[in-house]
Structure 1
């Protein structure tokens, strides 16, 4: 949605059915789709499965935590992206995923009700890191037996004061799905709107230089 708001025509690819996806979506292997069709796109944004290196998993039981064994697909995704020669974005959560942390975004940068730190590797283009504003308080919920209130909600898991579906929708600006699992894995559209506007400017500049 953020890339759409930045002016891009968006097409999604996923192995599983995504009936609530708000744009055209193809069901299939995203890495193979990139290899086969990526060269025809202006920008490719990829979010490989990240659970094996996520901060919620690392330190629990290697790649066996958080619901079972997880496969790290960052490397093959990057290889496919590089083969296209097109600008790209790889998104990953805070953790030990092998991505360059070219840009880190936080919900407080956009006045959102979640913190949801995310790292982005930028391929073929760059932008300046926005200022990481100081957090205004705690994320609401129980931590180590202590309940704290705060301006942010925990958009993951259930219980312990974590966000309801309605709270996650409002905090991230995502009204098109009310499925708890989808919301806990979602990225606030504001993140990709910012990235999209910068990469669009890069593409326009490159087109002008080429025309000259």
Structure 2
């Protein structure tokens, strides 16, 4: 018997995660059944899947059509309310990304803060998935996806940088925080492999994209299923 049998081909649908960061969104899509490839302009040494360091829009234009689905999380700082205090100029390419995504003719998702110029997004919240945080994020999708019921916000949030007390939810934004805070934030987010404050603060809870990805996978199955005889 051959001691090194051939590896079975990977038949999972392929998803491209652009502006992937440390891979919070990627993990959710992986849990939903996708083979994930991440792309980010910055090195991501802790990213858990196949990774390419590249410009997101350039990679999308060149390779987007090679995938079964695409997710992109453009930089959110230009739309964040926090930018009202620092008056800096940040990248703003949601419109350019949308144009390129439409040309690929595959299902796609654009994620960002709820203040971003997304078209009819659904809004996901940590409370929808039993997480100890709210962390609202908008998702514009090329296929119809309905958000779960949005629970009433009954929990107070700890101040940024402070560990939550019993009955409190966690606030996760940037800053100079303790290692204990970073470890707790990673646990609450569901990203235990993240090693820096920036990695965890810029991540999306994988529960969000697991939900999105499960619906996308259903669309793909329905689209590719053979017609009944």
Aligned to 1:121: 140
Structure 2: give runs of 5+ residues left out of the alignment: 1-26
Cα distance in 2, alignment partners of residues 102 and 203 from structure 1: 20
May I ask how many residue pairs the two structures share in their alignment?
198
Alignment of 1:174 onto 2:191? yes
Cα distance in 2, alignment partners of residues 138 and 180 from structure 1: 22
Q: Kindly tell me: are residues 210 and 93 of structure 1, through their superposed partners in 2, closer, same or farther at Cα, counting changes over 3 Å?
A: farther
Cα distance in 1, alignment partners of residues 65 and 227 from structure 2: 18
Shift of 1:158: 3.4
Q: Kindly tell me: are residues 211 and 185 of structure 1, through their superposed partners in 2, closer, same or farther at Cα, counting changes over 3 Å?
A: farther
Please say if residues 41 and 55 of structure 2, whose CA atoms lie closer than 8 Å, have aligned partners that are also in contact. Answer: yes
Cα distance in 2, alignment partners of residues 169 and 60 from structure 1: 27
Aligned to 2:225: 208
The within-5 A match list for 1:96-111 is 97-111=116-130
The alignment partner of 2:81 has SS state of coil
Please say if residues 68 and 107 of structure 2, whose CA atoms lie closer than 8 Å, have aligned partners that are also in contact. Answer: yes
Cα distance in 1, alignment partners of residues 63 and 228 from structure 2: 25
TM-score (normalised: structure 2) = 0.80
Shift of 1:209: 5.7
Please say if residues 105 and 117 of structure 1, whose CA atoms lie closer than 8 Å, have aligned partners that are also in contact. Answer: yes
The within-5 A match list for 1:1-212 is 1-57=27-83, 59-60=84-85, 64=87, 68-95=88-115, 97-123=116-142, 125-141=143-159, 150-158=167-175, 164-208=181-225
TM-score (normalised: structure 1) = 0.86
Aligned to 2:9: none
Query: Cα deviations across residues 35-71 of structure 1 (Å, max 9, x unaligned)?
Result: 11111111000001110111222x435xx3xxx3212
Cα distance in 1, alignment partners of residues 95 and 173 from structure 2: 26
Please say if residues 177 and 197 of structure 2, whose CA atoms lie closer than 8 Å, have aligned partners that are also in contact. Answer: no
Query: Cα deviations across residues 70-98 of structure 1 (Å, max 9, x unaligned)?
Result: 12111111111111111100000122x11
Cα distance in 2, alignment partners of residues 83 and 10 from structure 1: 20
Q: Kindly tell me: are residues 207 and 169 of structure 1, through their superposed partners in 2, closer, same or farther at Cα, counting changes over 3 Å?
A: same
